[in-house]
């Protein structure tokens, strides 16, 4: 059967003899019919159930007519801001506007509004007063209850209160959207669809809501940050589909009710979803603009699982995909991989085989699929649970099958590897095969920091665990005759991290010789434990105070410490060291981060003249201060003399 894109224009509806669509899907991304894009999965799932769906990608939000191009749908509008929260898409952590949008044709920025899900929903309501509106996707999912909004620095209400949507379909959404569609198709009023797991709804009365936990009101949350910390942690403890309770959050005389999360998908259900007739790329209407950049990394990548029991505190996956791993079968993944090999653009390289965490292919323990994840115990933090099943044998078998496919030259793993889970596996078979076959010169992992007290606030393993992993990685590389790098992702200014912790991290980088080209400053995105800490100054798990760096200048100093070797960061690093009381790290010793720039006695005029001459030659590049020569900085005929002088000093 020839694959085709879903209709995006009235002309395409006429070509398909569709008089009226069942659903119109308004999205903040360009239309990409690939299962890495949420709108593609939801629309194809509905289509597989017999519903007609049309797509309005990136409509003009300044004009209500933008959402009417496909007419009024029979059952309702679906709304999503896109694969990213629109605010994260638009702004860096410094709140500066980003220059490119990978989910827009040609990477052009500005094709969607801020808070896109809310804006689109309200736009639809202007055009159609009584049409059902269901909002979903990551933006709505993480804003389903009251939440701290970093960009306005305020506590925002549930998206149901600020948008004109009737329901939020939170999480991955396949189960809930079908149940909603079937209910609407059966003639049930949208206001009466209050029974679907994985949804939130508004109500003026709790009389018909059973077995719920009443959260503090929005007014109470705004009045006292302690109330918000307690409320958030109650939500966090109820994110499991088996043990999660119904939650009710009051807003004056209105309540937002969150039903328990939808049950995880079976392997067969996952296979069925990924076997739907996706076109696998962006809509042809974007060719003239150069296509959609986001497709490049995912076009020849394979999703093998979803969900993550790693539960890092700064990650929203617990709220969105949940902690229970759901995996596709080998047959399903191999079928998709074989299709890659028939694509004329395929060069023999599968870019990734993974999910949120690549080496999670099964639930953390036997009981999770029947009883759910523990409410008060994490699987890996602070140490691996005694019930954890650390076993990579299924993943190894899958990777071997993929490597054996004709026309496949290399299978990479670019999703994150959880190194503490890897170490918990008694067998090192996967570790060895990872090193030998699935790395392109370097392995990127995420220890995030070296200070154990910061790692505790991150929900990450202690630094000694990463050191053990790094040592084993080096040993296996040596045994396999490989010479590959280990690249750690690091984060500055996370709650709990003060200047002394940032200095400790910089000293570790000095000791290991690592020079990170990019550094991630902590980004307080909605609905994470770390964001709750950032806003309240409290650890919601213990209600103990947490140091939070919010001053932009001091945050910049922490970030500069991680790139202390950059000349442009010198003054910032110096200031940071002084603030931390670590002037001992300014000097000429091997342990020092920077050298003093004060001139030696009696050389002031000569140094000034030398600097002036250098500036005249190079357009402003300052020459190295006297006393800072080393072998690599000494040119030409002076090099041997410098080496000889160094040798004399050592002897």
Residue 355 has pLDDT above 80, yes or no: yes
Average pLDDT of 267-294?
97
Does residue 256 belong to any structural domain of this protein?
A: no
Average pLDDT of 315-324?
92
Same domain, 387 and 497: no
Question: What does R_g of the chain's alpha carbons equal in angstroms?
Answer: 27
DSSP 606-635: HHHHHHHHHHHHHTSPPPPPTT---GGG--
Does residue 164 belong to any structural domain of this protein?
A: yes
As a whole number of angstroms, the distance between CA 154 and CA 138 comes to: 20
> Looking up tokens 């289509």, which residue turns up?
47
Average pLDDT of 609-620?
38
Same domain, 419 and 523: no
Residue 385 has pLDDT above 50, yes or no: yes
Does residue 16 belong to any structural domain of this protein?
A: yes
Same domain, 427 and 468: no
Same domain, 307 and 172: no
Same domain, 434 and 469: no
Which of 410, 440, 470 is the last residue before a domain boundary?
Answer: 440
Same domain, 478 and 419: no
Q: Do the Cβ atoms of 326 and 386 come closer than 8 Å?
A: no
The parent domain of residue 570 ranges over 460-621
- Count of the separate structural domains present in the chain: 3
According to DSSP, the β-strands at 254-258 and 199-203 are antiparallel
The residues facing 380 across adjacent strands are: none
Average pLDDT of 7-17?
96
Same domain, 418 and 472: no
Residue 452 has pLDDT above 80, yes or no: yes
H or E stretch covering 185: helix 174-185
Percent of the chain scored above 70 by pLDDT? 92
Three-state SS annotation for 258-322: ECCCCCCCCHHHHHHHHCCCCCCCECHHHHHHCCCCCHHHHCCEEECEECCCCCCCCCCHHHHCC
Does residue 587 belong to any structural domain of this protein?
A: yes
Structure tokens at 242: 């088996």
Same domain, 429 and 469: no
Please give the pLDDT value at position 599: 53
Same domain, 339 and 433: yes
Q: Do the Cβ atoms of 303 and 274 come closer than 8 Å?
A: yes
Does residue 344 belong to any structural domain of this protein?
A: yes
What b-and-e string marks burial along 247-276, b requiring 16 or more CB atoms within 10 Å of the CB?
bbbbbeeebbbbbbbbbbbeeeebbbbbbb
Same domain, 367 and 315: yes
Residue 430: which CATH number?
A: 3.30.750.210
H or E stretch covering 337: helix 330-341
Same domain, 431 and 500: no
Please give the pLDDT value at position 116: 98
Which of 185, 202, 219 is the last residue before a domain boundary?
Answer: 202
Does residue 445 belong to any structural domain of this protein?
A: no
Q: Do the Cβ atoms of 395 and 361 come closer than 8 Å?
A: yes
Residue 150: which CATH number?
A: 3.40.50.2300
Where is pLDDT greater, at 209 or 635? 209
Percent of the chain scored above 90 by pLDDT? 87
- Alpha helix (H) ranges present in 366-462? 368-371, 393-403, 419-424, 429-437, 452-458
According to DSSP, the β-strands at 352-354 and 326-327 are unpaired
Please report how many Cα atoms fall inside a 13 Å half-sphere around the Cα of residue 506, on the Cβ side. 31
Q: pLDDT (tens digit, 9 = 90+) per residue, 487-521?
A: 999 999 999 999 999 999 999 999 999 888 878 99
Same domain, 311 and 380: yes
Residue 58 has pLDDT above 80, yes or no: yes
Does residue 318 belong to any structural domain of this protein?
A: yes
Residue 607 has pLDDT above 50, yes or no: no
Please give the pLDDT value at position 318: 87
Does residue 185 belong to any structural domain of this protein?
A: yes
Average pLDDT of 569-583?
97
């Amino acid at each position: 059967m020839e694959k085709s894109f879903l209709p995006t224009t009235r002309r395409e509806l006429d070509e398909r003899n569709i008089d009226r669509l069942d659903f119109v899907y308004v999205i903040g991304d360009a239309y990409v019919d690939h299962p890495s894009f949420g709108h593609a999965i939801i629309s194809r799932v509905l289509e597989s159930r017999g519903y007609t769906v049309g797509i309005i990608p990136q409509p003009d939000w300044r004009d209500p007519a933008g959402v009417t191009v496909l007419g009024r749908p029979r059952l309702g509008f679906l709304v999503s801001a896109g694969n990213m929260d629109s605010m994260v898409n638009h702004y860096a952590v410094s709140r500066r506007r980003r220059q490119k949008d990978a989910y827009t044709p040609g990477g052009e920025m500005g094709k969607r509004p801020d808070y896109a899900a809310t804006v689109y929903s309200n736009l639809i309501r202007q055009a159609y007063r009584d049409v059902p509106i269901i909002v979903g996707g990551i933006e709505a999912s993480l804003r389903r209850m009251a939440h701290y909004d970093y960009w306005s620095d305020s506590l925002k209400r549930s998206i149901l209160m600020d948008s004109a949507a009737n329901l939020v379909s939170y999480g991955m959404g396949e189960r809930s959207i079908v149940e909603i569609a079937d209910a609407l198709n059966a003639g049930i009023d949208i206001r009466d669809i209050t029974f679907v797991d994985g949804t939130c709804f508004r109500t003026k009365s709790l009389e018909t809501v059973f077995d719920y936990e009443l959260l503090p009101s929005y007014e109470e949350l705004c009045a006292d940050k302690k109330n918000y910390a307690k409320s958030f942690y109650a939500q966090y403890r109820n994110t499991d589909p088996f043990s999660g309770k119904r939650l009710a959050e009051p807003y004056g005389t209105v309540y937002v009710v969150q039903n328990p999360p939808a049950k995880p998908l079976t392997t067969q259900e996952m296979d069925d979803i990924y076997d739907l007739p996706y076109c696998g790329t962006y809509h042809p209407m974007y060719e003239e603009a150069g296509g959609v950049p986001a497709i490049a990394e995912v076009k020849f990548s394979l999703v093998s699982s979803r969900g993550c029991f790693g539960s890092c505190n700064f990650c929203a996956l617990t709220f969105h995909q949940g902690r229970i791993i759901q995996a596709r079968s080998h047959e399903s993944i191999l079928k998709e991989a074989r299709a890659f090999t028939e694509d004329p653009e395929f060069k023999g390289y599968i870019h990734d085989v993974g999910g949120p965490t690549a080496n999670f292919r099964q639930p953390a323990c036997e009981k999770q699929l029947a009883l759910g994840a523990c409410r008060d115990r994490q699987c890996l933090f602070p140490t691996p649970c005694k019930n954890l099943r650390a076993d990579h044998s299924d993943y190894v078998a899958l990777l071997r099958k993929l490597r054996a496919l004709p026309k496949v030259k290399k299978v990479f793993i670019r999703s994150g590897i959880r190194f503490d889970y890897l170490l918990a596996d008694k067998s090192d078979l996967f570790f060895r095969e990872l090193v030998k076959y699935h790395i392109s010169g370097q392995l990127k992992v995420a220890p995030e920091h070296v200070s154990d007290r910061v790692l505790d606030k991150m929900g990450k393993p202690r630094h000694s665990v990463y050191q053990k992993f790094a040592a084993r990685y080096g040993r296996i590389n040596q045994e396999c005759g490989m010479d590959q790098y280990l690249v750690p992702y690091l984060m500055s200014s996370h709650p709990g991290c003060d200047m002394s912790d940032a200095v400790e991290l910089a000293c570790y980088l000095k000791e290991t010789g690592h020079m990170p080209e990019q550094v991630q400053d902590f980004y307080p995105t909605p609905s994470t434990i770390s964001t709750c800490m950032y806003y309240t100054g409290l650890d919601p798990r213990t209600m103990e105070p947490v140091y939070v760096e919010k001053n932009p200048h001091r945050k910049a100093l922490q970030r500069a410490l991680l790139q202390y070797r950059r000349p442009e960061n010198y003054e910032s690093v110096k200031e940071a060291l002084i603030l931390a009381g670590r002037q001992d790290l300014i000097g000429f010793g091997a342990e020092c981060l920077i050298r003093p720039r004060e001139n030696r006695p009696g050389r002031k005029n000569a140094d000034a003249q030398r600097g002036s001459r250098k500036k005249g030659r190079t357009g402003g590049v300052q020459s190295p201060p006297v006393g800072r020569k080393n072998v690599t900085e000494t040119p030409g005929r002076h090099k041997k003399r410098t080496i000889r002088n160094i040798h004399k000093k050592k002897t």
